[in-house]
Each structure stands twice: as structure tokens, then as C-alpha cells.
Amino acid sequence: MIRLHRTVRFAVGKDGDPESPNGFAGRPAFQGLDRHYELFITCRGEIDPVASYLIDIKEIDRAAHASVIPAIRHAALTDDQTPPCRVLHSAFSALNAALAGRVESVRWNLSPYYSMEIHVNHPTTALLRQRFDFAASHRLHVPSLSDDENRRLFGKCNNKNGHGHNYQFEACVRVDIDRDGRHAFTLRTLEDIAQRTLIERFDHKHLNEDTLEFAHPGGVMPSVENIAQVFYRLLSGAIAAETQGASLATITVWETDRTSATYPA
């Protein structure tokens, strides 16, 4: 088995140009103040022994433009209040049928930081992802080791007064697609809970000095791996306590653009 990924970019507006030659930037192309979206489509199967590929990517594009994109366009242009997960869900079966059952998942990137995904193995739930940022300082230091051992182990990260990062984290939440509007878990729900549970608690703090979760004694050292686990525990508990039809799947924390940790794996 092999997975093939295809990104389909498109604009939604009243006067989109379906014949734009620049498929990389999106077709239909931007006109004025249109909305720009991406579909990240993953197909799975065996490589065709004659064609030497899983599927012609032009087939994926045609199927997306025949099923998913019209559903999104209709919802966007009619001011429909249907949650994005339902819009994507309504078109998923048609897309999968057009591609002979080879679609494993579709992620709709509504912005660079907000997306909705449906997986063929979990057709009644969607994965809502949103990214947040916060600034904090920390020190990597193990109290049971000597000062020399800590310096050898952590180098500059063992600086006595700590050092700072502009962290980012992304919450991935399983959402019940069939939940009615009054109880639906939305992006605003996630943003409110994340703000109260994590950002207000840790933003512009010295994690070792100002927080119970990472202070000594009793807390854990604020490595990016431990931050991911602590954030998951706090956010998953808040989502479970305050909402219905939603649960936290994973959380990813970026210490820099080159270093991140995801929990659970």
C-alpha cells in the first residue's frame, strides 16, 4: 500500500475564473476579495502496474471540483450557517466514489492555521485543528544532578535566569458531525477554552518560576515534550468537562520552527 497526497487550491467568490492557467495558486483564481481555501486529499492503495502510479492526479482535481468545491462554494455564497465539518462531510462520499474508494482523508484548510478533516475510517467525526501562540521563558535543569552535569547536559538552555521562546501549539479535536447546532463544538468554542485553560495560564510566564505544573518541587521540567503532555492533560480535561460531542485527539507544541512535540503519539 502507498499514500498519495494532492493539494487542490481554489478561490470562492461571485466571479471566480475557472479557466485560470495557474493551478498552483488556485483554480478558480482570486478575483477581488474572494476567499482562498485548500483541500489536502490523501488517497491510499496499490500502484497500478501499467501506469506506475496510484492514481492520475488530474482525476483527483476533477473529482474535487465536481464534489467538494461546489458544496463549499454553495455554503459560502448563500451565507449558510452549516458548520464546516458538515459541509465537508456532505461531499466526502461523492469524492470517494469518484476516486473508486481510494480516498483515505480530506483536510480542508480554511486558513493557514485552521482546518477541518474527515477520515474514511471515522465518517461520523471530524478533526478540527487550530493553532495558537504564547511567549514564555524556561530553564532546563534537573535538581538531582550537579550544576556541572546540568551544564554539560543542557548547555545554554541551563542558563540560571532562563531563556525565552515564542511557542506555538495546535489542538486537534475530534468533533461529532451529527451534533445539533446548539451543542456543536465550533472553532469559537475551542478558542475560548484554550484561552482560559492554557494561554492565560502560561503566556508571558517563567514556566519554572510562575507555574505549578513546571515548578520544583512537584512539577516537571518544561521541555517541549513535557509541555505537550501538560497542555494535553489540561485542555482535554476542560473540553470533556465543558462540552459534549468533542474530545481532544492530540496536541502539538512548537518550541521553534524546527523543534516540536506531539502528544499522544
pLDDT digits (tens, 9 = 90+) for 17-76: 667 778 888 888 888 888 999 999 999 999 999 999 999 999 999 999 999 999 999 999
**Same structural domain, 117 and 143:** no
Q: Which domain holds residue 54?
A: 2-123
**What pLDDT does residue 100 have?**
96
Of 233, 133, 238, nearest to 185 (Cα)? Answer: 238
**What pLDDT does residue 30 have?**
83
**Same structural domain, 29 and 154:** no
- Please state at what angle helix 187-194 crosses helix 224-242, rounded to 10 degrees: 120
* Rounded mean pLDDT, 181-199: 90
> In this structure, are residues 116 and 167 in contact, taking their beta carbons and an 8 Å threshold?
no
**Same structural domain, 221 and 156:** yes
At which of 101, 123, 145 does a domain end? 123
**Same structural domain, 146 and 258:** yes
> In this structure, are residues 8 and 61 in contact, taking their beta carbons and an 8 Å threshold?
yes
**What pLDDT does residue 16 have?**
62
**Same structural domain, 119 and 134:** no
pTM of the shown model: 0.92
Q: Is the pLDDT of residue 180 over 70?
A: no
**Same structural domain, 77 and 148:** no
Specify the CATH number for the domain of residue 42.
3.30.479.10
Q: Decide which of 180 and 10 is more confident.
A: 10
* Rounded mean pLDDT, 230-237: 98
**Same structural domain, 141 and 103:** no
**Same structural domain, 169 and 246:** yes
Q: Is the pLDDT of residue 227 over 80?
A: yes
At which of 76, 94, 123 does a domain end? 123
* Rounded mean pLDDT, 164-181: 91
Q: Is the pLDDT of residue 172 over 70?
A: yes
Q: Is the pLDDT of residue 159 over 80?
A: yes
Provide the annotated active-site residues: 157, 204, 255
**What pLDDT does residue 29 have?**
85
**What pLDDT does residue 81 have?**
78
**Same structural domain, 186 and 205:** yes
At which of 123, 143, 158 does a domain end? 123
The b-or-e profile of 150-180 (16+ CB within 10 A means b, else e) is: beeebeeebeeebeebebbbbbbbbbbbebe
**Same structural domain, 118 and 134:** no
Q: In angstroms, rounded to a whole number, what is the distance separating the alpha carbons of residues 103 and 63?
A: 11
- State the total domains in the chain: 2
**What pLDDT does residue 28 have?**
86
**Same structural domain, 9 and 112:** yes
**Same structural domain, 240 and 166:** yes
Q: Is the pLDDT of residue 117 over 80?
A: yes
